[in-house]
Structure 1
Amino acid sequence: MDAGEIKKYLTELNDELRAIGVKGEICLYGGAVMCLVYNARPATKDVDAIFQPTMEMRQAIERVAATYDLPSDWLNDAVKDYVVPHQQRIFFDFPHLKIFIPEPDYLLAMKALAARAETPDRDDIELLIKLLEIKSAEEVFSILVKYYPVHQQIKPATQYFIEELFK
C-alpha cells in the first residue's frame, strides 16, 4: 500500500464507523508512519496500529478489506505487545476517526528494538536519526532505554549498524 492508498482506506474506515455510529481512535506505527508521514518509502505491506473501540474497529476494518479486496490484516494490531506509553500527536482528525502518530524518538526506539536485517527498518532508523539530529550512537541507545528500560539489549547486528552510522 502506498501513501495514497493508506489515506483512502483510512478515509473509508471513517465512513464505515460513521455508518455504525461509532467514533474510533487509532495510533499508527511502523512502515505506515514511515510511508505516510516521512515519505521514507514508497509503500508498506500492512498498517500496524493500536485502535479502539476494538470490536467495532475490527468490524469496520473487515468491511474495508472486503470492499477493496484487501487482506483481512491490512490494518492490524500485532504491534500491541511492543507498545509502551509514549507521546502521540494527531495526524488526521476525521469526524468519526482520530488518527494519531508517535513522536519520532519513540518510533526510533521501536525500530531499533525490532530491527530486522535486510528490511527497510535500517533505512527507517537512518532517516529518524537524521530527522532527530542525533550526533552519536549513545544518544540512540539512551532513547531506546528511555522507552524500553527492560530491553536494554538490542540485537548485536542493529547495535553494530547504529554504531557504524556515526563513524
Structure 2
Amino acid sequence: MMDSIEMMDKKKLLDIFEYMNERLQENQLQLEITVYGGSIMTIVYDNRPATRDIDCVFSEVNQTLFNHILDMTKFAFNLSEGWINEEIKEPLKSILKEDKETYKVYSNLKIFKPSAKQLLAMKILAARPEPAKDFIDAYLLCKDLSIKTKEELLRLCEEYIPLTLIGERQQNFIRYLGKDLGYDWK
C-alpha cells in the first residue's frame, strides 16, 4: 500500500498550501499549521526530493468546514489516504518546549516550522531505521548547526527532550551519526 502513495515535492507542497489558503479564504477561516518531519526537510532544507505525507498539527478551527477543505485538497491534487498525518502529536508530548518559527504567511493560512535545533532533537528521539529518513535528516541538521561533538548534540537534545528518553536505539543512532560525520562519538 505504501508504494502506491503519491510523493509530494517542494512545488507540490507549496501548491497544496496555496490551494488550502484559497479554500480557507472562501470559507472565511483562519488556520495556523505547524509542519514537521519530511515535509519540512523537503520545503525548507531542500535535502529531500519529496515526502509521502505532511506531518503537522493544526490550530483550533471549524472542524466540519476544515475537513471539507482537506477532502477538496485531497481530490484536487489526487492525494492518497493519509496525506495529512497528525500522528506527530504523540511524540510532541515528550517535547519539553516548542521552538517554532514562521515559515510562510498567506492571507488565511500561517505555516510554522520547528527550529533546526528542535527538529534535530526530534530526529534523535525518533531514531527510526531506514526507510525512514531520520538518519539522513539528522546528519544534515548536524552539519547545518555545526554540531561536532556528542556533548554538543546531547546539550542541544536536552533543551527539547528529557535525556531519560535516550535509549539504546538512540545511543546507537548517535554513535553511527558521529561516525558518518567523521567523529568518534563512543
If the length of structure 1 is used for normalisation, what is the TM-score?
Answer: 0.92
TM superposition outliers: structure 1 runs of 4+ over 4 Å: none
* Aligned residues of 1:144 and 1:152 also touching (Cα < 8 A): no
Structure 1 gaps of 5+ residues are: none
Q: What amino acid does structure 2 have at the position aligned with 1:99?
A: I
Percent identity, please.
31
Q: Does residue 64 of structure 1 match 2:73?
A: yes
Change (3 A) 1:109 1:45: same
User: What's the secondary structure of 1:69's corresponding residue?
Assistant: coil
CA RMSD of aligned residues (A): 1.6
Per-residue CA distance 1:55-80 (angstroms, 9 max, x = gap): 24433222200222212321221101
If the length of structure 2 is used for normalisation, what is the TM-score?
Answer: 0.83
Change (3 A) 1:4 1:38: same
Q: Does residue 28 of structure 1 match 2:43?
A: no
Q: What amino acid does structure 2 have at the position aligned with 1:76?
A: N
User: What's the secondary structure of 2:154's corresponding residue?
Assistant: helix
Partner residue, 2:165: 151
Q: Does residue 141 of structure 1 match 2:148?
A: no
Partner residue, 1:127: 140
Q: What amino acid does structure 2 have at the position aligned with 1:153?
A: G
Per-residue CA distance 1:102-134 (angstroms, 9 max, x = gap): 100000000111122223211111100011011
Change (3 A) 1:137 1:46: same
Return the alpha-carbon distance in structure 2 between the equivalents of residues 122 and 21 of structure 1.
41
User: What's the secondary structure of 1:146's corresponding residue?
Assistant: helix
Q: What amino acid does structure 2 have at the position aligned with 1:64?
A: T
Q: Does residue 161 of structure 1 match 2:176?
A: yes
Per-residue CA distance 1:4-41 (angstroms, 9 max, x = gap): 00000011111111121100000110001111000011
Q: Does residue 14 of structure 1 match 2:27?
A: no
Return the alpha-carbon distance in structure 2 between the equivalents of residues 120 and 82 of structure 1.
16
Structure 2 gaps of 5+ residues are: 1-7
User: What's the secondary structure of 2:88's corresponding residue?
Assistant: helix
